[in-house]
A and B are shown apart, each in its own frame.
Chain A
């Protein structure tokens, strides 16, 4: 059989190649590649490290890394099943610290007025990505307000309890 109009078929092949190239280049050919996953985590860390609030926090702490380790230990020691993804050994530990600190601080900043209640506590329902995630869990900072959190940042883990959603 002689194909009179070859161009559409050539275009079809090119479209197929371009689509597969896109999948390959994004590192998501069959499943997301390890390389791409690392790139995403690195970017998230970089973004959070650029967050000046965290810089100011780290300046107020003598050793942010020790604080991070303490936080992570606290979470692991309580180890509710829902936080497995967060304390996954594949995830760089400082990204965990940055996420927790940033979320805690954002919450305290935003809900300042609410903290005047007698039963003061900060609850941050942590979501891995967006809302409605089933592996959400609550980070509860007991009897603490924003000013107290910042001045006592080194002892943040002692106010923290972790609950599954």
Chain B
């Protein structure tokens, strides 16, 4: 029930999604191979993301309805990736796994650092959310591969492919991918699983994927222009920034967050009522150490970004925390699974379930940063619909291909689906793309009464 109530506004908001200016810029590059090659040579090394811009981009065919399906597909895919994750690491019962997936998804939505960039803005969702979904699938698939008694080539093939998609999707996954591979090698060594050959192939895939990413002429030019030489001092500064910014973000997640506390209790209650598999039955000391280690290492996920930004990184770039938040959500759930075995069992009574649900709803309602509540506000206030109508009116006028068009700055900006990458003082460089997309001669954007 919590899952359904939490997810409903985000599903409804999908139908009010409209293209952003950067989406147009990526939709005027012709072809698939040329699109990938052009971005690789001139912009960055994210070859998989470029492929998605080129191949799975409804705007290239002026299919505005299909554009609205993107957030919906991403939400369902994230849900399914959680489902696979739970069935791999926690328990196999399908119905329970579906319920828990919905709760984790709600948990992820509640404090998501930037929902518009996560789901409702095609270019960004392909850069941040899609690699994240594939990363969760990769964790599950590669773990199953290592655990399998017989050698499983299809799983190996899929894991290698996923490494390319994730690394070529977002370079911020460099550290999580490396950490996970190290963990798999460690597990193989400790449990004598005889999966050296498979792990060797995965290591080669990881090396090749990041070789392609970091030797991109676009990336190299960016690094050269930033003039941030790879020195110990610069690395230390970047690590320090990464650590501080992540802590700053986490503070809003953990500090005095009643909603998170009650949801955690609900998850513990849930774990206590079902049979967890042996993976979740680690000793508290051992798992606490592992979780602490992955948590500390996770503080440096945004290191490649802070390093490349050369000290100019801003906390307002909330989109970069989409990836660390997913990482922490998963660590948190695994930790709760372990903890649930070591704390006194909560009695299985209706009154406890109802009490917990009441507290969750109440704290959710009172929490001013609760993204689910804000999503409902966007829907109920009519802001999302007004935004959709406003942009649609601009699209239909632009589609008539006039010689000259005057557009107004947007009045409606729903918090959850408006990315900010629309006509404003900072997005001037996208005007040409907009004009080329709609074949407009002259474009004037002004403040309207």
Which residues in A have some Cβ–Cβ distance to B below 8 Å?
3, 5, 7-9, 11-12, 15-16, 18-19, 22-23, 25-28, 31-32, 36-37, 39-40, 43, 47, 50-53, 55-56, 102, 106-107, 109-110, 112-113, 129, 132-134
Q: Which residues of B contact A31 (CB under 8 A)?
A: 217
In the complex with contacts A5-B151, A8-B156, A26-B37, A53-B211 CB distance below 8 A? no
Q: For residue B28, which residues in chain A have a CB less than 8 angstroms away from its CB?
A: 47
Interface string of B405-449 (1 = CB under 8 A from A): 000000000000000000000001001100110011111111000
Closest B residue, CB atoms, query A17: B208
Complex Cα distance, B440 from A109, in Å, reads 13
Tell whether, in the assembled complex, residue B204 and residue A110 are in contact, meaning their CB atoms are under 8 Å apart.
no
Instruction: Name which residue of chain A comes closest to B205, CB basis.
Output: A15
CA distance A3 to B443 in the complex (A): 66
Q: Write out the residue numbers on chain B whose beta carbons fall within 8 Å of the beta carbon of A22.
A: 47, 212
Query: B342 to chain A: closest CB distance in Å?
Result: 39
A28 cross-chain contacts in B, Cβ below 8 A: 40-41, 215-217
**Is B186 at the interface (CB under 8 A from chain A)?**
no
Q: A28-B216, A53-B441 are in contact. Are A16 and B208 (CB under 8 A)?
A: yes
Contacts of B40 in A (CB 8 A): 26, 28
Q: Tell me which residues across on chain A come within 8 A of B192, comparing CB atoms.
A: none
Residue from the list A5, A12, A56, A109 in contact with B204, Cβ < 8 A: A12
B153 within 8 A of A: yes
Are A15 and B201 in touch, CB under 8 angstroms? yes
Q: Of A39, A43, A106, A129, which is within 8 A of B428 by CB? A: A106
B 277-311 to A, binary, CB cutoff 8 A, 1 in contact else 0: 00000000000000000000000000000000000
Report which of A11, A37, A52, A134 forms a contact with B441, defined as CB distance below 8 A: A52
Complex contact A7–B153 (CB within 8 A) = yes
Instruction: Tell whether A50 pairs with B212 under 8 Å between CB atoms, given A31-B217, A113-B446.
Output: no
Within 8 A of A (CB), among B158-185: 160
B204 in contact with A40 (CB, 8 Å): no
Chain B residue at minimal CB-CB distance from A32: B217
CB distance from B61 to the nearest CB of A (A): 18
User: Is B197 a contact partner of A15 (Cβ separation < 8 A)?
Assistant: no
Let me know if B42 and A8 touch, CB within 8 A: no
Residue count of chain B within 8 Å CB distance of chain A:
46
Contacts known (A7-B151, A28-B217, A113-B446); A102 close to B432, Cβ less than 8 A: yes
Distance of A42 Cα from B216 Cα, bound (Å): 20
Q: Are B215 and A43 in contact (CB under 8 A)?
A: no
Whether A16 and B153, one on each chain, are in contact in the complex, defined by CB atoms closer than 8 angstroms, is no
Interface bits B198-222 vs A (CB < 8 Å: 1, else 0): 1011001100110110011100010
Q: A11-B157, A16-B204 are in contact. Are A52 and B440 (CB under 8 A)?
A: yes
Enumerate B193-247 residues with CB–CB distance to A below 8 Å: 197-198, 200-201, 204-205, 208-209, 211-212, 215-217, 221, 225-227
Report the minimal beta-carbon distance from B225 to chain A, rounded to whole angstroms.
6
Task: Give the Cβ gap from B438 to chain A, nearest Cβ, in Å.
Answer: 10
Interface pair A9/B200, CB less than 8 Å apart: yes
* CB-defined contacts of B189 to chain A, threshold 8 Å: none
- For the complex with contacts A11-B156, A22-B47, 7 further pairs of A-B residues with Cβ separation under 8 Å are A8-B156, A11-B160, A12-B201, A19-B209, A52-B403, A109-B443, A132-B225
Q: Which of B41, B208, B428, B444 contacts A26 (CB 8 A)?
A: B41
Q: Which of A15, A31, A39, A47 has the most CB of B within 10 A?
A: A15
Across the A-B interface, give the 7 residue pairs with the lowest CB-CB distance, nearest first: A8-B197, A19-B208, A8-B201, A12-B204, A32-B217, A52-B441, A5-B197
For B151, B212, B216, the residue with the greatest tally of chain A CB atoms inside 10 Å of its CB is B212
A11, A55, A113 — which one has the most chain B CB atoms within 10 A of its CB?
A11
Q: List 20 A-B contacts (CB under 8 A).
A: A3-B197, A8-B201, A9-B201, A11-B160, A15-B160, A15-B208, A19-B211, A25-B37, A28-B217, A39-B37, A43-B38, A47-B28, A51-B436, A52-B441, A53-B441, A53-B442, A106-B428, A106-B432, A109-B442, A132-B312
Nearest B residue (CB) for A11: B201
Contact A56 B441 (CB under 8 A): yes
Knowing A12-B200, A15-B204, A23-B212, say if A40 contacts B156 (CB, 8 Å).
no
Q: Report chain B residues within 8 Å CB of A50.
A: 436
A110–B445 CB distance below 8 A: yes
Considering the complex, give the chain B residue whose CB is closest to the CB of A13: B204
Closest A residue, CB atoms, query B447 = A113
Cβ-defined contact, A51 with B205, below 8 A: no
Q: Evaluate contact between A110 and B428: CB separation under 8 angstroms.
A: yes
Give the chain B neighbours of A11 by CB distance below 8 A: 153, 156-157, 160, 201
CA–CA, A129 to B225, complex, Å? 11
Note all chain B residues with C-beta closer than 8 A to A51.
432, 435-436
Contacts of B156 in A (CB 8 A): 7-8, 11
Report the bound CA distance from A23 to B214 in whole Å.
12
CA distance A129 to B429 in the complex (A): 10
Does the CB pair B157–A134 fall under 8 Å? Answer: no
| B431 touching A106, Cβ below 8 Å | yes
Would you give the shortest CB distance from A9 to chain B, in whole angstroms?
Answer: 6
> A109 near B444 (CB under 8 angstroms)?
yes
> Which residues of B have CB within 8 Å of A25?
37
Q: Which of B47, B217, B227, B436 lies at the interface centre, i.e. has the most chain A CB atoms within 10 A of its CB?
A: B217
Residues of A within 8 A of B160 (CB): 11, 15
Set of chain B residues within 8 Å of A109, measured between Cβ atoms: 431, 442-444
Closest Cβ of chain A to B170, distance in Å, is 18
Measured CA separation A99–B64 after assembly (Å):
30
CB contacts under 8 Å to A, within B1-55, are 28, 34, 36-38, 40-42, 47
In the bound assembly, the distance between CA atoms of A20 and B257 in angstroms comes to 50
